[in-house]
Structure 1
Amino acid sequence: MIEQETHDVATEVLSDGGSAARTAHTRFRQLAPWLALGLLLVLVVALGFFGRSGQDGAALSPVNPAPAGAMALAEVLADRGVEVVQAESLEAAEDALSNEATLLLHDPDSWLSADQLGQLSGVADRLVLVEPTTIMLSELAPTIRQAGLIPAAEADGALPAACQVTDANAAAAITAGGFAYRGDLICFPPASAQGGPPSGSYAATAGQDIVALGNGAILSNESIDREGNAALALRTLGNNPVLVWYQPTPADLAPADALVDPLNLLPEWVNPVMLWLLATGLLAVLWRGRRLGPLVTEPLPVVVRAAETAEGRARLYQDSSSLDRAAANLRAATLIRLASRLRLPATSSVAEVVDAAARHSGRTPADLDRLLRTDAPASNAHLVRWSQDLDSLEKEIDAR
């Protein structure tokens, strides 16, 4: 009986450590962090590629309904009889332009070269430059010059027209912010410009065929209804039956142009995802880096001390929290040694070993039955105390 029970315990311990469900649960727990990390990465990529609404997400785009877009202004212009044409390329913009058209050019990233900008000179009845750069002004509006930024202290206020331009006077005032320019006609000067060379958020040539708007935000959905932004935008862009709305993209880059920063070509979500991956990678290195390297092979036979084997198995039990299996192994070994010392046959049952141990130790059968059969340690500390009790019992038997 003892031999059979010991054989069952040994078989159970030396197998895969438990049932298929327990093994699957253990492996799933080990792989759970990696599965969660992979699922989160897939979710972020999916949201980046498929979570878009199908609308153009560019700032001041005439089909972008977001706060930074300009869809509201484009729809109002269309309701007033202006044909708003969104040009997808330089060629499309040139084809749509005529002597009865207004061209709105917004190129904050300077995708167009000087030669490409020269192709747009004089092809429209009116040219409206939104926050133009120096190269745009030099090629398309030489009489208009940059005059710096409008101070942040004025960004929350309003700029009065303070000029004789009809479109500006109709607006009376616009929200402050953006850039200031100098030209033949200047409107909406910032307070900081007083006492120095005149400049304003609105600058135009003498014939008003070229206009520079220093604050593109006045065209956006979130700001078009503030102050006189709508009046200035509608009168500036709606004076012709056709409005060509052109915002260059990387596709407009000329082949001979110098290379631009490749980071500008990436979607906006790439940088946050890269930082997140870097952080998770460092955490993974710190987490897994404590593990030992690959196993070192040694020629057989290898002599391993019994103490090392016992300690290694104990650590395996501890790491896997296998208290029940460690207790079963200790109980079986104790029963085998007690049966040998009490000169009982190997076929003796646990009850026979308990009775014999009670006679030789002076303990009650109930106490020994609890210790050798029913006691089940529930924690590491309990397991240590229980193993010490087993050892004390064996020492008592030896002493008698």
Structure 2
Amino acid sequence: MTVTAPRDAPGTVSTPTLRTSLRRARFWVGLALVLALGVAAALVIGSGSGEGRALGPANAAPGGAKALVEVLGRQGVDVTVTTSLDATLDRLGRGGDGTLLVDDADGFLVADQWGRLSTAASHLVLLSPGPTALAGVAPGVEATAQVADGTASPSCSSPALRQATRVDVTGVAYDVDAPGAVRCLPTDDGYGLVELDDGDMRVSVLGATGALTNGAIATDDDAAFALALLGGSTELVWYLPSAGDLPEGQGTLATLTPPWVTPSLVVLFLAGVAAMVWRGRRLGALVVERLPVTVKASETTEGRARLYERSGQRRHALDQLRIGTLGRLARATGLSTTASVDEVVARVAEVTSADPRGLRHVLVDADPADDRELVSLSDSLLDLERAVRRAVAPS
């Protein structure tokens, strides 16, 4: 039996088409594309060549230093960018006369590696170095504070500041406790430039890195300061240490993770939360929905009967009738609904004075061989119920 609900009946469920599914999923497709583009952009920005990193020699953003590299090139300085310690030392050679600029913003280098760099060039420039670098090549120098903005006069005799009168001191302030040290670019918390010179090598600890950026190089005397500091020789090696420089077994997850990873993960997390808040299902009060079709019990009974008839399951059909009869006989004779078949047979035999073997044959054992016997056994069940009702009925 097949029941078909009217097309416009309430509660009718239809299979969604491909166009409907795509329309519902367009937000998630768009979100996935935006996130994929964001991750791709972060990968490009976070590449190890210096593109996208602060003070990166290939970064054209306001915080990069690409303009400085181009100006140095016009002044005849050959700028070479390296990303490994071995390549840097090979480029300079032992005790070379070139200038080495080291920007270890991620803290990859260890004390032994700084010791190797200390003899690699005649002039070593450190951009905002950390404690390990200072202990290795600039003992006695220590960071004192961060400098948000401002400018300062040189107030020292450093050759790098002879042509400058005002320099951007944004970055880190340092102080030094070493004889013969030169302190330049004074701020309220320290100095933007500290220089040490032992006769064989000059070390410049530059905390005022804001003067080297694209956004500040054309203001005040920052360009003259940067050219004087980095243009003293015809070759400048710009060394950007990478994770490959870490000795085997050293390094933490924080040092091995590029700086763009954490912001990207935060953006992805916030986008996921926003999507869940916007498109998430909200639980409300339960709503009673009318079913589209009501099927009568007699129709389902007839349908099951036809299935039994088609498959020839006479015994199964008779057993369904027996189950109902046993339940009704148990209630009529005062037995519980959990009474066993033997208990029901014994009770019915006592009430009706019938042979228990004949009752058990009708209620359990008989197996109809054809439809006529099935109908006869069904009638016997009805007759047995009538006899029990008469026997237990009050006189």
TM interval, short-chain normalised: 0.5 to 0.7
Q: Which runs of 5+ in 1 are unaligned?
A: 1-8, 194-198, 293-307, 315-400
Instruction: Give the Å deviation of 1:242.
Output: 0.9
From 154, 163, 168, give the equivalent of 1:161: 154
Preserved contact between residue 101 and residue 126 of structure 2 (Cα < 8 Å): yes
Instruction: Provide the identity percentage.
Output: 32
Q: Would the alpha carbon gap of residues 140 and 37 (structure 1) be closer, same or farther in structure 2, given more than 3 Å must change? A: same
Tell me which of 120, 124, 127 is aligned to 1:123. 120
SS of structure 2 residue aligned to 1:287:
coil
Task: State the match for 2:102 in structure 1.
Answer: 105
Partner of 2:86: 91
Q: Deviations over 1:78-106 (max 9, x none)?
A: 11111111112111111111421100011
Between the aligned partners of 2:256 and 2:283, the Cα distance in structure 1 is 32
**Distance of aligned partners of 1:110 and 1:147 in 2 relative to their CA distance in 1, 3 Å threshold:** closer
CA shift for structure 1 position 265: 2.8
The answer to whether the 8 A contact 1:102-1:125 is kept is yes
> Partner residue of 2:196?
205
**How many residues matched?**
281
Indicate the residue corresponding to 1:313 in structure 2.
292
Q: Report the Cα offset of residue 286 of structure 1.
A: 4.0
User: How far apart are the structure 1 equivalents of 2:194 and 2:89?
Assistant: 24
User: 1:253 and 1:288, CA in 2 relative to 1: closer, same or farther beyond 3 A?
Assistant: farther
CA deviation string 1:293-340 (max 9, x = no partner)? xxxxxxxxxxxxxxx8x81339xxxxxxxxxxxxxxxxxxxxxxxxxx
Q: Which residue of 2 aligns with 1:134?
A: 131
Extract unaligned runs of 5+ from structure 2.
294-395
Secondary structure of the residue aligned to 1:204 is strand
Mapped to 2, the partners of 1:285 and 1:246 lie a distance apart of: 48
Cα offset for 1:17? 6.5
* AA in 1 matched with 2:254: D
Question: CA shift at 1:201, angstroms?
Answer: 0.8
From 162, 170, 184, give the equivalent of 1:177: 170
Contact 2:82 2:237 in 1 (8 A): yes
Bigger helix share: 1
Q: Give the letter for the 1:313 counterpart.
A: P
RMSD: 3.7
CA gap of 1:19–1:218, structure 2 versus 1, over 3 A, is: same
Partner of 2:144: 148
Considering only CA atoms, is the larger Rg found in Structure 1 or Structure 2? 2
The residue aligned with 2:269 is 275
Seen in structure 2, the aligned counterparts of structure 1 residues 79 and 147 have a Cα distance that, compared at 3 Å, is same
Distance 1:251 1:263, change over 3 A: closer
Question: What is the TM-score normalised by the length of structure 1?
Answer: 0.60
Q: Is structure 2 residue 194 aligned with structure 1 residue 238?
A: no
- TM superposition score normalised by structure 2: 0.61
- Give the whole-Å Cα distance in 2 for the aligned partners of 1:52 and 1:112: 19
Shift of 1:205: 1.1
